[in-house]
Amino acid sequence: MKIEDLIERKKELGYTNEMISEKSGVPLSTVNKIFGGFTERPRYNTLQSLECVLFPELHSPKEAALYKDIVENLALDWGSRASGGLALDEYSAETPKKVTQDHYEKVISWKKPGEFTVEDWLSLPGWMNMELIDGVLIDRNTPTTKHQFIVTYLCTALNNAIEASKKKNKDCIVLSAPTSVQPDKDDDKNGFIPDVLMVCDKEKYRGTDIILGPPDFITEVLSPSTEKYDRIVKLNKYWMAGVREYWIINIEENEIYVYHFDKGASFKTYSFEDVIPLGISGGEITIDFNAIYTRLKSFFGE
């Protein structure tokens, strides 16, 4: 999120710096510097704490505490697959999934968690299926069949809707994982592989193998191994980078969490029985999740 959004929200609520400091737990001196324009890029956990106070509809104190814990312990969360701990013998030399000793030494072993860049991340073999969060490589794990079913169905529905829509949506393209995205072109410590994304600015994908800049729309389908990243860390990264709309699909709860960041911020929960309008299309494009759910049950018997 941009500092300007926080300042505008502060004015709307009529909060003083003292009130924000008391409610967020952020030292008053830090609050004064941020809202006084002296700190252009606050720490992520500080920004998260301020957002919880100024945009309570999007955040909760529990989420703020969890976000701080995730960011501060990101390297530990990767466990044995963390930078410097990735052993060559984890991958069979009898398959194409082999990391050469030269690649291992140049890209993996000589950097610590927090030091990796987008360039390092893009140089890794695609089969390693990793994302980059604050300079740490995170294993995405293999998605389930249900996960991929929803991703494929949603991509098809969005593409069909774009083709049938008016001219204003014609420049938009829909892509799915493993498309690489660097949401903030000035931040080389974060790179993601969203499940579904839509980009309406040709300059962000023309002539490149990575989407440079924030997609207009992103969807992540929750998996147990990535849920805390999708619901908390990525939400904030996408928001701050300028993504206009973000959907999180929770298969286990049959819910879709829709975040609109275009003008301020708003949040709404839908069920798999709803028809959901795509906000960035002005409501022209809608996705019938009941149709997706019906197909899902017919294939998987649930």
- How far CA 232 is from CA of 9, 181, 229, 246, in Å, comes to 21, 18, 5, 12
Residue % of the chain over a pLDDT of 70:
76
Determine whether domain 145-300 maps to CATH 4.10.95.10.
Answer: no
For residues 261-282, give the mean pLDDT: 89
For residues 63-90, give the mean pLDDT: 49
131-182 confidence digits (pLDDT tens): 999 888 887 777 889 999 999 999 999 998 888 876 666 788 999 999 999 9
- The pLDDT score that the predictor gives to residue 80 is 37
The CATH number that domain 3-71 falls under is: 1.10.260.40
- The pLDDT score that the predictor gives to residue 226 is 78
Average per-residue pLDDT in the chain?
Answer: 79
- The pLDDT score that the predictor gives to residue 122 is 86
Count other Cβ atoms within 10 Å, centred on residue 208: 11
Of the ranges 79-88, 118-127, 188-197, 263-272, which one carries the lowest mean pLDDT score?
A: 79-88
pTM beyond 0.85: the answer is no
Name the DSSP class of 207.
T
In terms of DSSP bridges, do strands 245-250 and 255-260 run parallel, antiparallel, or are they unpaired? Answer: antiparallel
CA dihedral sign, ordered 25, 30, 32, 37: negative
| Residue ranges per structural domain of the chain | 3-71, 75-139, 145-300
- The pLDDT score that the predictor gives to residue 87 is 36
Nearest to 152 by CA among 195, 198, 89: 195
For residues 48-62, give the mean pLDDT: 73
**Does the structure show a pLDDT above 80 at 22?**
yes
CA separation for the pair 193, 176 (Å, rounded): 8
Count other Cβ atoms within 10 Å, centred on residue 225: 13
> Cβ distance 49 to 26 under 8 Å?
yes
- The pLDDT score that the predictor gives to residue 73 is 59
- The pLDDT score that the predictor gives to residue 211 is 93
